[in-house]
Amino acid sequence: MSRRRWWLVGLWFFVAIGISTAVVWRGWKHDGSAPTLPWHVHVLAFLVFAFEVLARATKVQWGAKALRIPLRWMTALRVSLGGDFGASITPSRAGAEPARFLMLAEGGVGTGSALLILFFELALELVSLVIVCAFLAFFTDGGALAGGMIGVIGGYSLFLIGVAVSAFVIASRRTLGPPPGWLRTVGIHAGRWRAIRRALRHIRTGMDGLRRARPGAMAVAFLLSMAHVALRLAALPVIVLGSGVNAPFTPLIVWPLLLLYGGALAPAPGGGGAVEFAFAVGLRKVLGPSELAGALVWWRFYSFYIYLIAGAIVAGTTVLKAINGNGRKPARDHAASPVHPGLG
């Protein structure tokens, strides 16, 4: 990224840390205690992080296996953590998918196969979130917030389904020759039309791979997706309840759900302080000032900063290449035959 963009990233992180500092200062004035955790709670929170990363990387690998695409577990791990790093340092998490795509490419996965893996992983995530939100809305007192998340996720799901159906319809048609007249009227010239044709070929081959997917492996990937979402939401209850604080369970689940997934709409890297502010406002009636300070600091660490650090260590260079748009092209393209029967 350019120096100006890094300055903007630094500014938004400064805002986020500033809001956290204000919450901590309020808790300090209340009873003079620092936002610390017992050592066993740190161990539990780290284990939640480690098992979540393990579940997500294995989900990506089993998703690829369901699609008959060979994928090493270490590549799946780099895809998961590198995507977290790319999402953390770009507005509205815009850098996540380019980073994940480039890491698949560097792992030897062809363009069509990489697109299919990413789309399938995203579909699993959306279905898992809808199920979790529905459970919270109908079987707990999380009602309005969880119902609102269902609306957001449902709307986004319909958008993705619309895009997929449109791509399938267009990709099913013959695309040889010059661009159609209606495309020329909107400025799609021959060179751009060639690029569109290549993308449509990737979509066609990807759809062929989806038709031949393995149901058993898809079920395993779905269960791992549910485990990944549950573990992401477990960090705050582990921190608060593990510290011996007497607090209702439902807000400790519903607010992280809203902030982790709804916070992606914030047009600033890492939420730009919006997540910290909403956390402090939403849970101020659930936790006392000192408890709120500790919960905010350590929840953000174990749900955001630790992923940023791990992603930077595992795949930082590749992520920056993807964000800058200068990542190398895949060494080999499986677009012509992204499905590998008998492998995986």
pLDDT in tens, 244-285: 888 888 889 888 888 887 766 666 666 667 888 888 888 888
Task: Give, rounded to a whole angstrom, the gap between the first and last alpha carbons of the chain.
Answer: 36
Residue 328 in 3-state DSSP? coil
Residue with tokens 């369901």: 66
- Of 290 and 324, more confident: 290
- Of 89 and 39, more confident: 39
Q: Treating both helix axes as pointing N-terminal to C-terminal, what angle do 306-324 and 39-66 enclose, rounded to 10 degrees?
A: 40
Task: Look at residue 299 in the predicted model and tell me its pLDDT.
Answer: 94
Per-residue pLDDT band at 173 (split at 50, 70, 90): low
Task: Look at residue 312 in the predicted model and tell me its pLDDT.
Answer: 92
Residue with tokens 């840390």: 17
Mean pLDDT within 18-45? 78
Cα dihedral 113, 205, 329, 304 sign: negative
Mean pLDDT within 194-214? 66
| Close Cβ partners of 183 (under 8 Å, ≥ 6 residues apart) | 193
Task: Look at residue 334 in the predicted model and tell me its pLDDT.
Answer: 41
Alpha-carbon span 129 to 267, nearest angstrom: 22
Alpha-carbon span 105 to 110, nearest angstrom: 6
Mean pLDDT within 221-225? 96
DSSP 1: -
Task: Look at residue 339 in the predicted model and tell me its pLDDT.
Answer: 36
- Window from 94-108, 192-206, 300-314 with minimum mean pLDDT: 192-206
- Window from 47-51, 265-269, 338-342 with minimum mean pLDDT: 338-342
Residue with tokens 């990363």: 53
Task: Look at residue 37 in the predicted model and tell me its pLDDT.
Answer: 87
Q: How do residues 121-157 score in pLDDT, each as one tens digit? A: 888 888 888 888 878 777 666 556 656 666 666 665 5
pLDDT greater than 80 at residue 340: no
| Close Cβ partners of 162 (under 8 Å, ≥ 6 residues apart) | none
Is-contact 81 53, C-beta < 8 A? yes
Task: Look at residue 182 in the predicted model and tell me its pLDDT.
Answer: 54
pTM (two decimals): 0.78
Alpha-carbon span 120 to 218, nearest angstrom: 10
| Close Cβ partners of 69 (under 8 Å, ≥ 6 residues apart) | 109, 113, 116, 117, 209, 334, 338, 339, 340, 344
The first and second tokens of residue 223, run together, are: 């269960």
pLDDT greater than 70 at residue 213: yes
